[in-house]
Amino acid sequence: MQNPILIAVVAALAILGSTLGGDAVWLHYVCKPLATVLMLNLAWRASQPVSADYRRAVATGLFMSLLGDVFLMLPKSVLGLGFELGLAAFLIAHLFFLRALTRDARLFGKPWPLVGLLVISVANMSVLWPGIGAALHVPVLAYMLCLVAMTAQAASRFIALRTVDSRLAAIGGVFFLISDTSLAYNKFYAPIPASPLIVLGTYYLALYLIARSVQRAK
């Protein structure tokens, strides 16, 4: 089975396990981290990486995403601080993705993606803020800024380089933003119908595209 197909099957099983719950939740517990492991392997085994630094930074970001997967999926009865630890792991992941995206492009060299995403994020935070507990105000705000910075830099880098691999990273950043925004609305505002499909589907697309961006396109 080809690697992209295997990744898609495992990711679909993770989403299915989360959607069904009950006895099927074991599918989620097994396949959610496994899908991220497969994408980490995809990035690390790129035959012609954009650069060694880019590959290392993306791989480290994917590894931190793997830790975040584990922290977030465990019930509170097993890990009481799972959400906080997951948030911290993904924040670090975005910092490593940001590092990768600045290896060959100036930070926010094209500023308008940053400005646009900040405007959108401020609008979202104005809606979500009342539902976020006081203890999470600073962590959530810090995470949002890191996510916006990563996505904006991915877009800025693509505008500057105009390569296939930089386009993959930019689209991956946008899907990451969509995934986390959906997760935030589902957790802090109101339940979203079919939230596992929306949140995890866009998340896996984001990770896959970022992992694929390691391979220099011909």
Give 16: exposed, middle or buried? Use CB within 10 Å, 0-12, 13-18, 19+: middle
pLDDT in tens, the chain (218 residues): 458 899 999 999 999 999 998 888 899 999 999 999 999 999 999 999 999 999 999 999 999 999 999 999 888 878 878 899 999 999 999 999 999 999 999 999 999 999 999 999 999 999 999 999 999 999 999 999 999 999 999 999 999 999 999 999 999 999 999 999 999 999 999 999 999 999 999 999 999 999 999 999 87
pLDDT tens, residue by residue, 14-41: 999 999 988 888 999 999 999 999 999 9
- Token pair of 90 as six digits: 């993904």
Q: 49: helix, coil or strand?
A: strand
Provide the residue ranges of all domains of the chain, joining segments of one domain with +. Answer: 3-212
pTM of the model: 0.94
Distance, CA of 105 to CA of 172 (rounded, Å): 17
H-type alpha helices, the chain? 3-20, 25-44, 52-73, 82-101, 112-128, 137-161, 164-188, 195-212
